Amino acid sequence: MRMNVGDIAPDFELPASDDSTVRLSSFKGTKNVVLCFYPKNHLFMCPSKKVFKMAQSVIKAYPEILNADSVLFAISVDTVDDQKKFIQEYRIPYLHLSDTSKEVCKQYAGLNIAGLARRTTFIIDKNGVIRKIFTNIDVEKHGQEIAKSLAEIS
């Protein structure tokens, strides 16, 4: 089942890179939520550079994202330990969520041929409604695209 703009975002609970557990519904009524699904932290091919470039792009726009009354999470099938290492290595200020069962990735972004999440970003408003879905992501501009979309829904 594919998600569409206007759908209510299905609730989920996933372990985070800071050892907490993040439940989507806990932000309802208080924050917009940005979910950035991506394949994996360290791939032995060029996509790992894409992951890093996208992280840099999002980090640059992160203050604007926070100012738009929003939270942002990156989600992949990596383990919590892998997420922790990745965050430390690249000094990433936002939490990464671990979906080792692939259930949330499958439900939201869908999986690629290798069984990893497709690179997809969802912007969910304070009412839990999906307002924007990015699929063809320009990793170098993505942070600004997210900030712009959040400004439009605020």
Q: Which residues are catalytic?
A: 46
Closest CA relative to residue 109, chosen from 13, 6, 10, 31: 10
Helix axes 47-67, 80-90, angle to 10 degrees: 80
d(CA 58, CA 144): 7
What single string gives the DSSP state of each residue in 15-45?
A: EBTTS-EEEGGGGTTT-EEEEEE-S-S--SS
